[in-house]
């Protein structure tokens, strides 16, 4: 799930305008290429985006994702609030630490944000895309949920994502005895905690691993220990190609306030039962489902030479569409992307590359998961 960031507060206490991450100076010291990423100074890569991508697919890599937003939802009305605000059903979170992926919608069914929500001791912990943090909080607080509920932004926390087939064992080797066993027993989309260290078996790469949330003052030590143990530092470039291969949407490109989950390959996040749960956007989605969805989000594999880029035109026998995300796949060594196309489009398509139409094929997502290629390349 990850997107650009925009906190108003600097966790490191040493930056101007809240743009640097808690690990900013560490990234600079090791020669990372830094860029403005939605209001944060973030590393694109540490020398080789391709090598970082392969490290996550084959071994383990660590990402500084402190730009993500963490919101704790507490109070007697917390469950009622989440049931109203989210299209998925938090009633499925039966055990402390259980998590689910969901969208938060406007009344038209458009996606305000996609997020992960965890069952916590006194409510819920929500991880949001930080580019939408301010609008998310404003929306949550404005919906007039009856009862006592608070939405607390935890800008005192930082976050690392350790991903890859060797990631969990690398993290567990650094945990103390009080939590290592619990971390080892986590199933996907579960979390546990040790004091302020929050450990979840989630990620955004299509590989196994942990996401670690901790006090900002502790993140540099965690980063240094992981790197010393052989975990490869990875930047935004590899993060994007990994999530693209894994078929994971990016907010702001593959889904927006103008598109619904049903149009964005996220219909599985909509919990229609219980039928009396009146979540925001339900009526609009129900009407769209009844009338028939006219467009869909599909994977695209370029059959010709070139690289897929956002906003390139797509044409199919059923009508036109557009590339929403596109890049080069280091694992497939082919150009891949997502396209929003007519719902009845078949496999055939062409991509507009500077006025020339290139042969491509619509495919079912994902392209790669857990190190395995999931599509036919022939």
- pLDDT, residue 59, reads 98
Please check whether residue 46 lies inside any domain of the structure: yes
Looking at the fold, whether 138 and 193 belong to one and the same domain comes out as yes
Is 378 within a domain?
A: no
Check residue 23 and give its pLDDT: 96
- The tens digit of pLDDT for each residue in 298-316 reads 999 999 999 999 999 999 9
| Integer angstrom CA distances of residue 47 from 141, 142, 154 | 42, 44, 32
Domain with 301 in it? 294-373
Cis peptide before 95 (omega within 30 of 0): no
Exposed, middle or buried, 305 (CB in 10 Å: 0-12/13-18/19+)?
Answer: exposed
- Residue 36 shares a structural domain with residue 125: yes
- Going by C-beta distance under 8 Å and a sequence separation of 6 or more, which residues neighbour residue 139? 85, 104, 106, 112
pLDDT at residue 93, rounded to an integer: 98
Instruction: Round to whole Å and give the CA distance between 1 and 370.
Output: 16
Distance CA 207, CA 25 (A): 28
Domain end marker among 273, 290, 307 = 290
Q: How far, in whole angstroms, is CA 87 from its chain's centroid?
A: 17
- 299 and 285, same structural domain? no
Low-confidence ranges of the chain (pLDDT < 70): 1-18, 146
- CATH (domain of 301): 2.40.30.110
Same domain for 260 and 336: no
Which residue, 272, 155, 298, is CA-closest to 215? 155
Structure tokens at 283: 């009526």
Question: How much is the pLDDT for 11?
Answer: 30
- Among 261, 290, 319, give the residue marking a domain's end: 290
CATH, residue 237: 3.30.1360.120
Rounded CA separation 367/378 (Å): 13
How many CB atoms within 10 Å of residue 35? 14
Q: Does 114 lie in the same domain as 184? A: yes
Same domain, 328 and 254: no
Structure tokens at 350: 């062409």
What total number of domains does the chain contain?
2
The DSSP 8-state label assigned to residue 245 in this structure reads H
Residue that finishes a domain, picked among 257, 290, 323: 290
DSSP string of 298-319? EEEEE-SSS---TT-EEEETTE
């Amino acid at each position: 799930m990850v997107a650009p960031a925009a906190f108003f507060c600097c966790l490191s206490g040493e930056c101007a305008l809240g743009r640097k991450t808690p690990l900013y100076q560490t990234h600079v010291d090791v020669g990372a290429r830094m860029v403005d990423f939605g209001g944060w100074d973030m590393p694109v890569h540490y020398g080789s985006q391709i090598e970082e991508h392969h490290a996550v697919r084959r071994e383990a890599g660590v990402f500084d994702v402190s730009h993500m937003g963490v919101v704790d939802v507490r109070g007697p009305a917390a469950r009622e609030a989440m049931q109203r605000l989210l299209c998925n059903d938090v009633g499925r979170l039966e055990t402390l630490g259980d998590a689910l992926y969901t969208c938060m919608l406007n009344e038209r069914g458009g996606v305000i944000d996609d997020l992960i929500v965890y069952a916590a001791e006194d409510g819920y912990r929500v991880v949001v895309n930080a580019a939408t943090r301010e609008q998310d909080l404003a929306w949550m607080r404005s919906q007039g949920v009856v009862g006592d509920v608070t939405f607390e932004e935890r800008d005192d926390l930082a976050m690392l994502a350790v991903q890859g087939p060797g990631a969990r064992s690398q993290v567990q080797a650094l945990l103390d005895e009080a939590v290592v066993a619990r971390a080892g027993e986590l199933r996907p989309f579960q979390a546990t905690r040790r004091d302020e260290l929050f450990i979840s078996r989630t990620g955004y790469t299509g590989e196994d691993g942990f996401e670690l949330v901790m006090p900002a003052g502790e993140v540099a030590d965690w980063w240094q220990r992981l790197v010393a143990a052989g975990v490869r530092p990875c930047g935004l470039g590899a993060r994007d190609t990994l999530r693209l291969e894994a078929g994971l949407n990016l907010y702001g490109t593959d889904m927006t306030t103008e598109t619904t989950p049903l149009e964005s390959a996220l219909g599985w996040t909509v919990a229609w039962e219980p039928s009396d749960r009146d979540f925001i956007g339900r009526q609009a989605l129900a009407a769209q489902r009844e009338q028939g969805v006219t467009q869909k989000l599909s994977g695209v594999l370029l059959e010709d030479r070139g690289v897929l880029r956002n906003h390139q035109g797509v044409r199919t026998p059923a009508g036109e569409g557009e590339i929403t995300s596109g890049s080069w796949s280091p694992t497939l060594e082919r150009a891949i992307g997502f396209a929003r196309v007519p719902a009845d489009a078949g496999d055939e398509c062409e991509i507009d590359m500077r006025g020339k139409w290139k042969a491509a094929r619509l495919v079912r997502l994902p392209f790669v998961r857990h190190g395995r290629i999931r599509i036919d390349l022939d």
